[in-house]
Amino acid sequence: MTGVALGAAADAASGFAAALASGTATASALDVLTTRHAYVAFALLLCIGLYMMIANQNLVKKIIGLNLFQTAIFLLFITSAYVEGGAIPIVPEGAAETGTFVSPLPHVIVLTAIVVGVSLTAVGLALCIRIYDEYGTLRTDVLRELLRDEGSLPERPAVGGADGGEADE
């Protein structure tokens, strides 16, 4: 999964480099870092978020990882919508339609996605509170043990693993 995301991010960056900065497509790694730092940050945030979700034992930190993951995607949309010298796309009546405008669509998408993300975080934290009330812990390893004692989980972990599965795709 991480590999796909990384490769895809590189694709996005290079595709964009070719499309926007025509002629300078032969960018070295340093150039990518200095001129496309937002895309680098996007890929980094995505990977850090994913890693936190998989590797961290604490449920609340998993949710923080989830938020980082989503934030990375917001960053991608915002970065892609940036236009050098672009104006707000509001044209007063009678004014001449000159100059470049920024497409409002990516911003609207990010606004909506933020709302979705906040509601998800709320549901996730509510579930964390319930789990903590019931079992007195938020660590998945302890929790799995408790659930196994209780009989809510099968003795042997199922094939594929509970959290490792998504990393292998």
Partner 1 sequence: MSDVLLPVAIAVPLVAATLPLALGLKYERAGWPVAAVATTALAGLAAAIGIEVARGGALSHALGTYEPPIGIELVADELSVAVLALVAAVSLATLAFARVAGPRGNSFYSGYLLLVGGLTGLVLTGDLFNMFVFLEIVGISTYALIAADRSGASAYASLKYLVVGTVGASLYLLGVGYAFLATGTLNMLDMQAQIVQQASYADPLIRASYALIVAGLGLKIAVFPIHAWQPDAYQRAPDAVTTVVAALVSTASAYALIRVSYTVFTVDFLAANDAITTGMLIVAGASILAGSALAAMQSDLKRMFAYSSVAQFGMIVAAIALANETALLGGIVHLVGHGLLKFGLFLGIGLLALGYGARKLDDLASAARSAPYTSGAVALLGLGLVGIPPSIGFLGKWYIGVGAVESSMAGGDPAGIGIAVVIFVSTLFTLSYVARVIERFYFAGVGLSDGHGDDHDESGHGDGGGHDDADRGVAADGGRESVTDDDGDGPLTPVEGAPRSRLVPDRVPPASLAILVLAALTTVALGFGGYALFEWFDPYLTEVFA
Phi and psi at residue 2, in whole multiples of 5°? -60, -40
Helix, strand or coil for residue 143? Answer: helix
b/e per residue 116-153 (b: at least 16 CB within 10 A): ebeeeeeebeeebeeeeeeeebbebeebeeeeeeeeeb
- Which residues, numbered 75-134, are part of the site for partner 1 (CB under 8 A)? 76-77, 80, 103, 105-106, 109, 112-113, 116, 119-120, 123-124, 127-128, 130-131, 133-134
Q: Which residues pair with 101 in a beta bridge?
A: 87
Any contact of residue 5 with partner 1 (CB under 8 A)? Answer: yes
- Residue selected from 31, 33, 83, 150 as contacting partner 1 according to rule CB under 8 A: 150
Please report, as ranges, the residues that interact with partner 1 according to CB under 8 A: 1, 4-5, 7-8, 11-12, 14-16, 50, 53, 59, 62-63, 66, 69-70, 73, 76-77, 80, 103, 105-106, 109, 112-113, 116, 119-120, 123-124, 127-128, 130-131, 133-135, 143, 147, 150, 152-153, 158-163, 165-166, 168-169
